[in-house]
């Protein structure tokens, strides 16, 4: 019966499996590439720290001291990463986030430190937002009744951009989701002569549960939530609209954040704009994989590369990921 069935079954004319038979063939015809220069490493630097502090919800990620930050920056440059994104954690916070504007504040000092050490080899980026610096944890200044004041916040963002530019940053990343933030920052930078400082706009940043571990990473003081200014996870077209507005206002790159739950938005934005698109592989995505791997449920290293490749496949030109350094080492094997 088996011989009769086999004899009656036509042989396949097209055999896609031919191109999967060896590692060399699979590499030759791979549709999506993942390379170190496409990866950006987000790092946290804590004011007053004398040594790195572990972040319990993000195994392997730390709050850096200024000296350990430089070691991480040197490693990133040696591995050929595309950039490093700096987040500052101040010792003191207030209602208006004044530490964000202080030239001697932790983020501005970290920018100068890193640029002075590896600025020729690595794109130095800065998170331009107030949430790490405010005692209420929101991304802007508040009205007397507790709402985030969009237009007053734009004024602070413009000042913050100038502080980062004066510190030597290559690229600022406004992440607060204020209407008009890119235009306000671009105008301030240009008027001050910082025409070459680029803007990576967090254009489609969603009010996501996957930011949870990040709250610990930056010692967040958030009261309430950010649903009135971050995007509703139900909306994809809105993400494209935000990206188009940011491009019109002068953004050099646009970002979708988070990445994994919003790969469809990454693709839509990639198809809609003519500037590079970034995606942020956020803390919750990182922690979920690490937790599963720690229990032996998945192959950790394969899963890391598969996750990052999926973000690239969706259309991201640049991926911000806490695995950037490790991924570069894995790719070099």
**Which residues are marked as active site?**
205, 257
**Cβ-proximal residues to 263 (8 Å cutoff; 6+ apart), any chain:** 310, 311, 314
Q: Say which residues have a Cβ less than 8 Å from residue 309's Cβ, sequence separation at least 6.
A: 32, 34
* CA 133 to mean position of chain CA atoms: 19
Q: Where are the beta strands (DSSP E) in 160-285?
A: 171-174, 198-205, 253-257, 277-281
The 8-class DSSP code of residue 94 comes to B
Running DSSP on this structure, what letter comes out for residue 42? Answer: E
The closest alpha carbon to 222, from 163, 140, 111, 126, belongs to 140
- Render the burial of 234-243: b for 16+ CB within 10 Å, e for the rest: eebeebbebb
Query: Residue 68 is encoded by which pair of tokens?
Result: 């350990």
Q: For residues 84 and 199, give the distance between their C-alpha atoms in angstroms, rounded to a whole number.
A: 14
């Amino acid at each position: 019966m088996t011989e009769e069935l086999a004899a009656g079954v036509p042989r396949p004319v097209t055999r896609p499996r031919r191109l999967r038979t060896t590692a060399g063939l699979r590499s030759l015809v791979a549709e999506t590439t993942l390379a170190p220069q496409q990866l950006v490493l987000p790092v946290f630097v804590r004011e007053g720290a004398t040594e790195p502090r572990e972040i319990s919800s993000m195994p392997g990620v730390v709050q850096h001291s200024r000296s350990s930050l430089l070691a991480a920056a040197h490693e990133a440059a040696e591995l050929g990463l595309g950039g490093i994104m700096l987040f500052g954690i101040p010792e003191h916070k207030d209602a208006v986030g004044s530490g964000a504007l202080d030239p001697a504040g932790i983020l501005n000092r970290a920018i100068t430190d890193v640029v002075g050490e590896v600025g020729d080899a690595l794109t130095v980026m800065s998170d331009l937002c107030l949430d790490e610096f405010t005692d209420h944890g929101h991304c802007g200044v508040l009205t007397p009744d507790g709402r985030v004041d969009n237009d007053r916040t734009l004024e602070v963002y413009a000042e913050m951009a100038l502080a980062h530019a004066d510190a030597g940053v290559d690229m600022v990343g406004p992440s607060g989701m204020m209407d008009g933030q890119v235009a306000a920052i671009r105008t301030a930078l240009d008027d001050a002569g910082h025409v070459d400082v680029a803007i990576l706009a967090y254009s489609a940043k969603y009010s996501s549960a996957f930011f949870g571990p990040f709250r610990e990473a930056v010692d967040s003081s958030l009261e309430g939530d950010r649903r009135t200014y971050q995007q509703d996870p139900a909306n994809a077209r809105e993400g494209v609209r935000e990206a188009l507005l940011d491009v019109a206002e002068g953004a050099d790159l646009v970002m979708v954040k988070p990445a994994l739950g919003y790969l469809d938005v990454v693709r839509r934005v990639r198809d809609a704009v003519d500037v590079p698109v970034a995606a942020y592989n956020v803390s919750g995505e990182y922690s979920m994989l690490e937790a599963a791997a720690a229990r032996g449920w998945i192959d950790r290293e394969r899963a890391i590369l598969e996750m990052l490749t999926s973000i690239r496949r969706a259309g991201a030109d640049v991926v911000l990921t806490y695995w950037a350094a490790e991924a570069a080492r894995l790719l070099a094997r």
